[in-house]
Chains A and B, each alone.
Chain A
Amino acid sequence: MNVTLLGPQRIATTARATVREIMPDGPIAAVNSGWQERESDDAELDDVLGGRMRNLDLHKRWREIHDRDPEYAAAERRLDDLLDEIQALYVVRLQHAMAAIESVRRRREVPAVQEEALADAVASVQSLDQWHLRAVRETRAEFRAAFRPGERPAIADHRAEVATIVQDCAGIVLAGGHVGVLLRTLRVFDLDRVLKAPLIAWSAGAMALAEQVILYHDTAPQGPGQAEVYAEGLAAYRGVLPFPHARRRLRLSDEGHLGLMARRFAPRTCLLLADGVRVNLVDEAPLPIGARTLDPAGGIATVDAA
């Protein structure tokens, strides 16, 4: 699917021009459920979309479902508890695995041995990442099998309404915000079944459309955390993992750190989405010239003509 990814829109607003170019006519379906209770505070977004916004109101709809279907709401809260615990255990294991990598990185006495040990340590972390994804996937599948969201009237009605709105729109725009909340609402309303090009997404929106959602924050107040493979995304595009806000959230001066991330998430490419950036992803085509990515050899690489 053709998807246009944009950098964060807080400082540099590139969405307006991009929307005008890619979706020149017709209503535009908007998803800003990542803004949570501020979802309805969308006048500025409507302006960016040229006054053609049809907000899908996914967060509002999700809250309505909780009011109408308390059994589902309670089950979803239990699911959250379970997923939180899986994530907590994943993070505990990840911290140790990443600490091991750092120790291996520092010991350079016999480079060939170190390189082999490092590759194996990275493979261990990749295996851990896959464990988390698998555990989350299976837990969600069990939840769906037990509670059949699509068959519950409160959800089915909203899904049908959302699908109709999307069908009538010229394209879909996904804004940023809380990527966990965004992803949840996209799933509840089965957006992956109704997604269609053209798609424009930024920040958390871009992350939710990827195959995997990677959380990262090297400069958090509680100290640097490890990048986490949080969940599977909607996979509207493949082979690329977006990293918005890289300048504010990644230790860009630490080339080894960046290289390690690139190796860990290979074969997918880690794409930096800085303020003002626009990247058009066309099916399986390579990244466009000028796109900036994390380089497995360390640092940042720029896609060039060669």
Chain B
Amino acid sequence: MSVASRTASAGSTGRSSASRRKLAINRLRERAVIDDAAIHRFLDRHELPIVEGTRCTFVAWVEADAVYLRHRVVGLPGDLPLRRIEGTDLWYVVVEIPPESRVEYQFEIRRGEHWERFNDPRNPRIARSPVGDSSVCHGAGYEVPDWAIHDPDARPGELVELEIRSQALRRTARVSVYLPARFGTAAKYPLLVVHDGGDFLEYASARTVLDNLIHRLDMAETVVAFTHPGNRLDEYPNSAAHARFVTAELVPHMETDFPLVGHPSGRALMGSSFGAIASLSTAVRSPDTYGSLLLQSGSFLFTDIGAAHGGGPAFDPVVKFVNRYRARPTRVAERVFISCGIYEPLIVQNRSMLATFGETGMELNYVESRDGHNWESWRDRLRDGLSWIYPGAQKFVYE
């Protein structure tokens, strides 16, 4: 087994001099008078949440009977109540957040019997997703990668919309095809098939990331098929029809219509969460077709004994598939890139799968990050994964 493993962007874990100072919220609390004007000044002076070393102060100025910090960070208490500063409507909670972390959160308030949930109105950082927006706390040292931000020097690729009549899926499948900036028919390109392609484009800046990574020679010029699922809960958890669509319809269609490498080394499947299951189960059904898999926060739920997996009915076919694969793991690609956030519930399952994949002799590259199960976490690991499965020409270029 060959495993490369690391934690992404691990920084210093020592407390900064800022964290040795009295926290800003405590300095406010010590004031003799905390009136609205003082609160206004306090809120205007600080970026919220207030990050002081590893301690992050979440603050809400709201009339309520109770305020909670809602998050999905495994390890933190599920209900994180905020404390009210006496005589005010200012609520706060201080949470230890390790460096380089990224945490999505919301506030939930109770007024009498009425509950309301909302983003932090004083935090401009918002993460978008198909299930709604969240506020984002950037722990000390975390920065949005520069390769995920629009670079005017990077020549943009083109998105071409395709519709493929799929017999396997019994529907017309929509595919958004990314062609790199200097795309030409004389060259041959590797192919990457992305599950939940629309969401990767919409919420993980996939187009910008591809433009930048290709421009910087971090990643090879690649044709990317962003697929759009029908009902992903039917199509993604080990569906034979979906696998047939990808392998027997989509890939041949792409290899006919575009100048692609056409060998396993030039074919890769990618997906996050259920999309990772779809990628793996598709490759399991065609073990000689794909050279690489890029699996982010795979929903690798399994049971060692009994049937209780805690994932709900949607996960039943996933658990059945993963249990079967774990019992008899097979080599389904040459190389597998796996990433997972250490704050997400699936971290244990993803770590467990390393040994399973390793048994097959597939080359593994595993990266963890201090993040959760969300699109920006998957965006932030794209360079690690894409530059590994399809490395760019950097090793050839000496200016």
Contacts and interface: CB of A to CB of B under 8 A. Distances in A.
A267 B188 CA distance: 38
Contacts, number: 60
B396 A178 contact: yes
Contact of A215 (B218, B365, B396): B396
12 contacts: A8-B398, A66-B186, A81-B188, A178-B397, A179-B396, A181-B396, A207-B398, A217-B395, A220-B218, A220-B395, A221-B384, A222-B391
Interface in A196-218: 203-204, 207, 215-217
Interface string B205-218: 00000000000001
Interface of A: 8-10, 34, 37, 66, 73, 77, 81, 88, 176-181, 203-204, 207, 215-217, 220-223, 225, 228, 244-245
B399 A221 contact: no
A209 to B, nearest CB: 13
B42 interface: no
Interface string B139-181: 0000000000000000000000000000000000000000000
Interface residues of B, number: 19
Contacts of B218: 220-222
Interface of B: 4, 182, 186, 188, 218, 265, 365, 383-384, 387-388, 391, 393-399
Contact of A176 (B384, B387, B399): B399
Contact of B388 (A73, A203, A215, A222): A222
Contact of A225 (B395, B397, B399): B395
- Most chain A CB inside 10 Å of its own CB: which residue of B387, B388, B391, B395: B395
A73 B186 contact: yes
Contacts of A8: 398-399
B266 to A, nearest CB: 10
A176 B399 CA distance: 5
Nearest to A215: B395
Given A34-B397, A216-B395, A220-B391, 9 more contacts: A10-B399, A66-B186, A176-B399, A177-B399, A179-B398, A204-B398, A207-B398, A221-B387, A225-B395
Given A37-B182, A73-B186, A77-B186, A245 B398 contact: yes
B4 A204 contact: no
A211 to B, nearest CB: 17
A178 B399 CA distance: 8
A176 B398 contact: yes
Nearest to B337: A222
Contacts of A217: 394-395
A216 B396 CA distance: 8
A178 B395 contact: no
Contacts of B387: 220-222
Contacts of B182: 37
Given A37-B182, A73-B186, A221-B218, A179 B397 contact: yes
A66 B184 CA distance: 13
Given A216-B395, A217-B395, A223 B186 contact: no
A217 B391 CA distance: 12
B377 to A, nearest CB: 18
Nearest to A73: B186
Given A77-B186, A223-B4, A203 B265 contact: no
A177 B391 contact: no
B365 A203 contact: no
Nearest to B182: A37
Contacts of A66: 186
B399 A203 contact: yes
A244 B391 contact: no
Contacts of B393: 178, 180
A156 B63 CA distance: 84
Contacts of A216: 395
A306 to B, nearest CB: 32
A180 B393 CA distance: 10
B270 to A, nearest CB: 15
A9 B393 CA distance: 20
Contacts of A223: 4, 365, 388
A73 B397 CA distance: 23
Contacts of A178: 393, 396-397
B258 to A, nearest CB: 15
